[in-house]
Amino acid sequence: MLIVVEGIDGSGKSTQARMLYEALLERGYKVSLIYEPTDSEYGEAIRQKLKSGDYTPLELYKLFLKDRELNAKRILDLMNKGTIVIMDRYFISTIAYQGAQGIPIDKIVDDHKEMPRPDIIFILDIPPKVALSRIRPRDTFEVLNFLEDVRKIYLRIPEILEAFHCDIYIIDATKTPQEIHREILSRVLEKLG
More confident residue, 5 or 138: 5
pLDDT tens digits, 61-102: 999 999 999 999 999 999 999 999 999 999 999 999 999 999
Q: In this predicted structure, what is the pLDDT of residue 137?
A: 64
N-to-C CA span, the chain: 12
What domains sit in the chain, N to C, each tagged with a CATH number?
A: 2-35+83-192 (3.40.50.300)
Q: In this predicted structure, what is the pLDDT of residue 11?
A: 94
DSSP string for residues in the chain: -EEEEEESTTSSHHHHHHHHHHHHHHTT--EEEEESS-SSHHHHHHHHHHHH----HHHHHHHHHHHHHHHHHHHHHHHHTT-EEEEES-HHHHHHHHHHTT--HHHHHHHTTTSPPPSEEEEEE--HHHHHHHS---STT--HHHHHHHHHHHHHHHHHTGGG--EEEEEETTS-HHHHHHHHHHHHHHHH-
What confidence category does residue 143 fall into, taking pLDDT thresholds of 50, 70 and 90? confident
pLDDT tens digits, 89-141: 999 999 999 999 999 999 999 999 999 999 999 999 999 999 888 877 665 56
Claim: this prediction has a pTM higher than 0.75: yes
Q: What is the dihedral of CA 38, 43, 48, 49, to 10 degrees?
A: -130
More confident residue, 66 or 143: 66
Q: In this predicted structure, what is the pLDDT of residue 140?
A: 56
Whether residue 13 has pLDDT greater than 80: yes
Q: In this predicted structure, what is the pLDDT of residue 172?
A: 98
pLDDT tens digits, 31-59: 999 999 999 999 999 999 988 889 999 99
Mean pLDDT within 140-144: 70
Whether residue 18 has pLDDT greater than 70: yes
The C-alpha atoms of residue 38 and residue 72 are separated, in whole angstroms, by 11
Mean pLDDT within 17-37: 97
Mean pLDDT within 165-176: 97
